[in-house]
Amino acid sequence: MPDTAPPDARSDAPALDISLEGGTLRFVGRLSIARISETERRLHELLDTVEGPLLIDLSKVSRIDTVGAWMVHRLLRDRPGSAVVGASADAERLILEVAAADRPCEMRPAHEPFLTRELERLGRYMILAWVNFTAILGFIGLSIISAWNAFTSRRGVRWGAVTVQMEQVGVNALGIIGLMSFLIGIVLAQQGAVQLRQFGAEIFVINLVGRATFRELGILLTAIMVAGRSASAFAAQIGSMKLAEEVDAMRTIGLDPIEVLVLPRTIALILMMPLLAFYASILAIIGGGLFTWISLDIPPATYVQRLREVVPMADFWIGMSKAPVFGAIIAIIGCHQGFKVSGNAESVGQRTTQAVVEAIFLVIVLDAVFAVFYSALGFN
């Protein structure tokens, strides 16, 4: 097999001649990694008894690599006042690059006081939260403009895409949302019965289940489930299209990605969220009624009659009024994070996770805002 190693790496590489005359250290030959141990030993022998600066002559050096440049730089660094003469332009450039890279490296991060470190982290989080908030507001504005253009232009809304998204976010979610709501109704009734039994007021479990479900829990739990299911799907779908450059291809052929990808998903969630919330509320009521029938001996007829008496229609309409807003914000957050995907597949996972977290957080915040708003209007 022929020897393919570079000349300087072979065992028969020519030796480097090093001489010291007065204060001048002269290198002749190849100043490279070849025979580095011999070169180091020769330098140690020559410089062991010499003090003070040196004049390093590289005029006879035929080749120099990074190792050789490091040796020259080390001599200059350890002997202040030393100078290099006769170096070629390439040798001077290499020595300067090695010198620029010679800097202390910390093995561990510098210790900072706990309070300073945590305040800096809090500041970074606040800045990041503000940047994300302004970006979401901008994306909402862009979506509104695209929706206006779609509704007022000849091409109109892509209702076929809206129908497909309604099936994915609504019909396909009936099973998991129904099961969750049914179990939540049972748990709510059971926990309420445990507490109210101490006062002999088990009948008020119906009040608890009815009002809490139609006013708050039905829509809130549905929105949280949809946020985990649909916001993540939107972010992953659009993010994958972004990585595959399909979004850029849409722009190239004259299509608006907001109109094609965001608008159908947003309309679908706005239309489906009230239906899903009503469906979830009914199943939660059924779950609570089943528990009261089995454990509290309250017949279904009495349960239904009591619900009609204690649950005002205002509670139902308050819950339903939240649903379109929650659906819109979930769709906007999911699509926004999908458009922010960049780089590689890892970014898809990060943006998907962030979409779910932001959507759930904003749903809970908006629910609190709605609660305060309706309370101020006197709907208690």
Each residue's pLDDT tens digit, 293-324: 998 888 889 899 989 888 888 888 998 999 99
Determine the Cα–Cα distance for residues 306 and 309; give it in Å rounded to an integer.
5
Determine the Cα–Cα distance for residues 213 and 315; give it in Å rounded to an integer.
9
Check residue 3 and give its pLDDT: 40
Positive or negative, the CA dihedral 128, 364, 271, 163 is positive
Domains of the chain: 7-101 (3.30.750.24), 161-376 (no CATH)
Token pair for 4: 């393919």
DSSP labels, 205-218: HHHHHHHHIIIIIH
Which class for 258: exposed (0-12), middle (13-18), buried (19 or more C-beta within 10 A)? buried
The amino acid at 35 = R
Q: Edge-to-edge, what's the strand order for the sheet holding 83-85?
A: 17-21, 24-31, 55-64, 83-85
For 298-335, give one letter per residue: b (16+ CB within 10 A) or e. Answer: beeeebeebbeebbeeebbebbbebbbbbbbbbbbbbb
Check residue 361 and give its pLDDT: 93
Token pair for 140: 């909402």
Determine the Cα–Cα distance for residues 73 and 87; give it in Å rounded to an integer.
13
Determine the Cα–Cα distance for residues 106 and 347; give it in Å rounded to an integer.
30
Per-residue pLDDT of 135-156, as tens digits, reads 999 999 998 998 888 888 877 7
Residues 6 or more apart in contact with residue 327 via CB below 8 angstroms: 223, 226, 266, 269, 270, 271, 272, 273
Q: Could you tell me the pTM of the whole model?
A: 0.70
Per-position pLDDT tens, the chain of length 380: 334 334 444 444 456 788 888 788 888 888 888 878 888 888 888 887 777 888 888 888 888 888 888 888 888 888 888 888 888 888 889 989 988 888 877 667 677 788 888 999 999 999 998 998 899 999 999 989 988 888 888 777 888 989 999 999 999 999 999 999 999 999 999 988 888 888 888 888 888 888 889 988 889 999 999 999 999 999 999 999 988 889 889 889 988 889 889 999 999 999 999 999 999 999 999 999 999 999 888 888 989 998 988 888 888 899 899 999 999 999 999 999 999 888 788 888 899 999 999 999 999 999 999 999 988 888 87
